[in-house]
């Protein structure tokens, strides 16, 4: 069965500092990996995805993520955090060889950026 783990419930970072939100995955085959962001009282927004190719994926709002097959990780990063980045971040995985297109979500990480 496929799954993702987000080991940190909350990440605190000062504005202007780099940020990392961690995600590890488990699938039987090759993964498709996604990051979503949820701002307060709003729906989920797609940030970026890894399908194949370059391990470093660039997405919306200056975010990027690095796919590491040996460590089965897909950590979300940003070089310089903004207060407006404060939100709930979800990692998700889809099994490339799966019979359906369903996404499995991690438990979420609350990012708090202090001014």
Q: Which residues of 44-82 are buried (b: 16+ CB within 10 A; e: fewer)?
A: eeebbbbeeeeeebebeeebbbbbeeeeebbbbebeebe
Nearer to other proteins, 15 or 22 (CB): 22
Tokens of 41: 């009282």
**Rounded to the nearest whole angstrom, what is the least distance from the CB of residue 20 to other proteins in the complex?**
20
**Rounded to the nearest whole angstrom, what is the least distance from the CB of residue 59 to other proteins in the complex?**
10
Q: How far apart are CA 85 and CA 27, in angstroms?
A: 29
Nearer to other proteins, 40 or 115 (CB): 40
Please give the backbone phi and psi of residue 84, each rounded to the nearest 5 degrees, phi first: -70, -10
Nearer to other proteins, 15 or 98 (CB): 98
Nearer to other proteins, 38 or 72 (CB): 38
**Rounded to the nearest whole angstrom, what is the least distance from the CB of residue 46 to other proteins in the complex?**
5
Interface residues toward other proteins, by CB under 8 A: 32, 34, 36, 42-46, 49, 51, 90, 94, 96, 98, 100-108
Tokens of 53: 């190719």
């Amino acid at each position: 069965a496929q799954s993702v783990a987000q080991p940190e419930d909350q990440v605190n970072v000062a504005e202007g500092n780099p940020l990392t939100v961690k995600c590890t995955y488990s699938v039987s085959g090759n993964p498709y990996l996604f990051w979503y962001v949820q701002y307060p009282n709003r729906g989920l927004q797609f940030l970026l995805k890894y399908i194949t190719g370059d391990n470093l994926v660039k997405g919306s709002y200056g975010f990027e993520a690095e796919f590491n097959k040996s460590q089965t990780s897909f950590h979300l990063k940003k070089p310089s955090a903004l207060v407006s980045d404060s939100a709930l971040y979800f990692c998700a995985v889809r099994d490339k060889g799966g019979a359906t297109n369903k996404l499995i979500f991690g438990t979420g990480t609350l990012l708090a950026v202090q001014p």
